Chain A
Amino acid sequence: ELKVEQNPLFLSMQEGKNYTIYCNYSTTSDRLYWYRQDPGKSLESLFVLLSNGAVKQEGRLMASLDTKARLSTLHITAAVHDLSATYFCAVYRLNTSGSRLTFGEGTQLTVNP
């Protein structure tokens, strides 16, 4: 069974600081997604990482994927309050039943002024 673990689960940081959220998963996959969820809202797609070594950047967020280590990171640079949200990683698996995303528990990020 695929397990996806994120850490930290809760992150409080000051504006202007940098930090990294980690996503570890237990079985082979070459596709990983990062989503953002604001309170009471649905999930917004941030990044799709499709191969080993993939790196994508959007604004103050950068995501990377190391399929050999089964690890993805979401790096936050010079955080601003607007980044406060819950961030989920999700690992894609294709098996005989079909495909699905297995989600981590989420990292609740609070950026303080």
Chain B
Amino acid sequence: GAGVSQSPSNKVTEKGKDVELRCDPISGHTALYWYRQSLGQGLEFLIYFQGNSAPDKSGLPSDRFSAERTGGSVSTLTIQRTQQEDSAVYLCASSRRTPNGYTFGSGTRLTVV
């Protein structure tokens, strides 16, 4: 596609439920990133995928968070047993291997009630 596509755009879930967030990067972009932005805050790195290499998961805040990238394209971020502190906007970005820029999606606004 022309841009990075994320779905859903908004998600309200009950505390304790699992959620899945999807990111469809720009075609041909080998690198994919997940970031989290809490209200009024900067962006917090979560995870990075580059081609077929092992992902850099060092930013995931707990073992309730996991992500996968199938076929080097679409990525899914899963949060298990959601907590209220997980409420944030989750942003996905993609880039070429030698990036002159990262393109961000519109984000998924997650609200845990």
User: Using a CB–CB distance below 8 Å, which chain A residues touch chain B?
Assistant: 33, 35, 41-43, 45, 48, 50, 88, 90, 97-106
Taking chain A's interface residues, is the majority helix, strand, or loop, or is none over half, making it mixed? strand
Closest to B53 in A: A98
**Residues in B whose Cβ lies below 8 Å from that of A35:** 104
- The total of chain B residues at the interface (CB under 8 A) is 24
Closest to B97 in A: A99
Show 22 residue pairs from A and B whose CB-CB distance is below 8 angstroms, ordered by the A residue: A33-B101, A33-B102, A41-B106, A42-B91, A42-B106, A43-B93, A43-B104, A48-B100, A48-B101, A50-B100, A88-B42, A97-B56, A98-B50, A98-B53, A99-B48, A100-B56, A100-B59, A101-B33, A101-B43, A101-B102, A103-B43, A106-B42
Query: With A41-B106, A42-B91, A98-B53 in contact, do A104 and B42 touch (Cβ < 8 Å)?
Result: yes
